[in-house]
């Protein structure tokens, strides 16, 4: 899947304000609960890990994209390119910020939540966001082009039958003046709140809150934030 190509175009998407406001919500949660030991699942380029570090927190990140982890290493945060299933340490809090859970197909969601449950200490907390149906079908659906720094980027996202398929094309100018074309696809999956709650409960989480969130300033909330607590089975 196109996670590495996404990583290379992420900085041109102009999402800084949105990412900042989303991270602020997660950071408030971490600080208010005084969590000291956090795993950031799908840590991307490590912005949240960096902020945790600045706030004196012990933080570790994982991501499936090697390109994202390269940027984390340059940033000086503790992160590895590895599946969640292979993480052996335990944490007081797990975060999965900015669509990470939407990358998980429905038939793998339970396994992913089990893996999250297993990296948490008893009574540990899990906070994540997912796109609302409005977020996928109205906000994300559509096309955009970007022409910056000798790069031409085309992103075309189509929402249909609970899936958002985003085609990414990058034309990157080479030293010889010619453009190299790369193309890949990312698929994200819509998960409604009742199904998420059902799977989380089966795994051993209590869903303490579900909050609507308006990330992109549209008419309706485009995201939901979930706060879950690990309880003994
Ligand atoms: C939109 S980015 C968000 C990155 C970061 N959390 C942030 O807030 O900036 C989603 C990230 O999830 C990662 N990802 C997708 N599926 C994953 C999985 N199963 N395990 C770990 N990371 C995953 C992608 O590689 C990507 O870096």
Q: Which domains does the chain have, with CATH numbers?
A: 3-131+191-230 (3.40.50.150), 135-189 (2.20.25.110)
Nearby residues of 175 by Cβ (< 8 Å), 6 or more positions away = none
CA 44 to ligand 1 centroid distance, Å: 5
Q: Give the integer Cα–Cα distance in Å for 92 and 37.
A: 5
Residue 131 CB–ligand 1 contact under 6 Å: no
- How many residues in the chain? 233
Using the atom order of ligand 1, give the atom closest to the CA of residue 97.
6
Residue 62 CB–ligand 1 contact under 6 Å: yes
Instruction: Give the model confidence (pLDDT) of 156-207 as tens digits.
Output: 999 999 999 999 999 999 989 999 999 999 999 999 999 999 999 999 999 9
What sign does the dihedral 127-131-132-135 (CA atoms) show?
A: positive
The pLDDT of residue 152? 95
Looking at every residue in the chain, the average pLDDT score rounds to 95
**Token couple for 34:** 């005084």
Nearest CA to ligand 1 atom 16: 103
Using the atom order of ligand 1, give the atom closest to the CA of residue 83.
20
Query: pLDDT grade, residue 7 (50/70/90)?
Result: confident
CA 47 to ligand 1 centroid distance, Å: 12
The arithmetic mean of pLDDT across residues 91-120, rounded, is 98
The arithmetic mean of pLDDT across residues 90-110, rounded, is 98
The 10 Å CB-count burial string (b at 16+, else e) for 129-139 is: bbbbebbbebb
CA 101 to ligand 1 centroid distance, Å: 8
The pLDDT of residue 216? 84
């Amino acid at each position: 899947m196109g996670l590495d190509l996404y990583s290379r175009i992420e900085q041109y998407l102009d999402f800084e304000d949105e990412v900042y406001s989303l991270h602020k919500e997660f950071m408030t949660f971490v600080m208010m609960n005084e969590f000291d030991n956090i795993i950031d699942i799908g840590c991307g380029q490590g912005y949240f890990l960096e902020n945790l570090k600045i706030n004196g927190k012990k933080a570790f990140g994982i991501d499936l994209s090697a390109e994202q982890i390269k940027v984390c290493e340059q940033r000086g945060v503790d992160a590895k390119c590895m599946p969640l299933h292979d993480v052996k340490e335990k944490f007081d809090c797990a975060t999965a910020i900015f669509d990470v859970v939407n990358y998980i197909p429905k038939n793998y969601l339970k396994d992913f939540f089990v893996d999250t449950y297993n990296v948490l200490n008893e009574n540990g907390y899990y906070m994540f966001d997912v796109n609302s149906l409005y977020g996928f079908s109205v906000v994300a659906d559509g096309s955009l082009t970007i022409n910056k720094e000798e790069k031409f980027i085309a992103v075309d996202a189509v929402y249909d039958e609970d899936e958002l398929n985003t085609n990414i094309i990058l034309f990157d100018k080479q030293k010889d003046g010619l453009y190299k074309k790369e193309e890949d696809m990312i698929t994200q999956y819509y998960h409604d709140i009742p199904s998420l709650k059902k799977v989380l409960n089966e795994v051993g989480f209590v869903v303490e809150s579900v909050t609507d969130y308006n990330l992109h300033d549209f008419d309706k909330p485009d995201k939901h934030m979930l706060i879950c607590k690990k309880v003994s089975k």
